[in-house]
Structure 1
């Protein structure tokens, strides 16, 4: 069982989950995936992704968690400053047995009104490989995906059932992505959010 394997890893290699860990398994049934979600519900730090019998378990590193939190703080500051109604869903598990796919994003939001699936998903990826999350989110019909990788922000919008890479968010078209990126990379998080709020106010 994967839960036992994770427990053994923690016992044999203290701190490994804090450094970041990615496990990939094949031939996993949907029933096992569902059971594992329930079994690991007290391990909110683990992220599970499932696609057509493949299961990926990721324990985000401290750096990954730090970046996703910075993005969340800045995004939520933008929502507040622009009076955009939002519902933060965090790393909620979104899944569909019919579509044989499920994932737990780093951050997710519904905009306007709360819905069954988020309008916007944020993924922070510091490594390559693993399950193709765009395919998972395509099956779940998530309108917009933001990927942070190699200190770059890439945005994909769902158009006619397929994701297209775009240069501007369709959900937040007035948000200057280069400005957001600069404050994600800012060395001082408190100064970053204060300056970011000021820049938003100046642009309104």
Structure 2
């Protein structure tokens, strides 16, 4: 006997991940429609495997702070950028879909000005994606399939930087986007500081750290 459940019958608690297998592309699109755009959950899809995860509150605060630090870096370096947050990126021909915690177009920012509907068969993927406390193989495989060149992962109080080389992610010590600053140490330091002095003071301190480093 086979039982069929609808998504509204399933609760995913904060910090948990629901994995669905043997999901074809049309099912994936239907699930995205049912989930809707105004939701806290994040999805990752690769070749029939769909993960739906619900972030913890501390996860959200961390990803917001890292995003703020990236904006400070970009502004202080006078680099143009376009923010795309947790946009759903999809490539049907690769059977891959992903929603980053945060992401930015930097090298390709000019191409993305005013663009709200994306087609990754034509449009480039984001230049930099941010993930917090995620080691999912499904999510990593989706990023590879979409060709995102740089992914930052924050876990266990440390930032890790990965760059895409020959079809796989390789951890590096220096961000190719910000090669002249030790962002791994700086972001980790000021994230920790934000827990005691608050977000505003940490942002101001980080900006001063960037200016001194430049």
TM-score range, shorter chain: 0.7 to 0.9
Are 1:107 and 2:107 counterparts? no
Q: When the two structures are superposed, what TM-score results if normalisation uses the length of structure 1?
A: 0.87
In structure 2, C-alpha distance between the alignment counterparts of 1:44 and 1:175, rounded to whole Å: 35
Deviates more, 1:136-145 or 1:106-115: 106-115
Aligned to 2:163: 157
Kindly state the Cα deviation for residue 117 of structure 1 after the two structures are TM-superposed.
1.4
- Residues 156 and 2 (structure 1 numbering): CA distance in 2 closer, same or farther, change over 3 Å? farther
Give 1:1-204 correspondences, 5 Å limit. Answer: 1-6=5-10, 9=11, 17=13, 19-112=14-107, 113=109, 114=112, 116-125=124-133, 130-176=136-182, 177-186=184-193, 187=195, 188-204=198-214
Deviation >4 Å, runs of 4+: none
Kindly state the Cα deviation for residue 2 of structure 1 after the two structures are TM-superposed.
4.6
Q: When the two structures are superposed, what TM-score results if normalisation uses the length of structure 2?
A: 0.84
In structure 1, C-alpha distance between the alignment counterparts of 2:31 and 2:21, rounded to whole Å: 15
5+ long unaligned stretches in structure 2: 113-122
In structure 2, C-alpha distance between the alignment counterparts of 1:2 and 1:197, rounded to whole Å: 47
- Residues 157 and 39 (structure 1 numbering): CA distance in 2 closer, same or farther, change over 3 Å? same
5+ long unaligned stretches in structure 1: 10-15
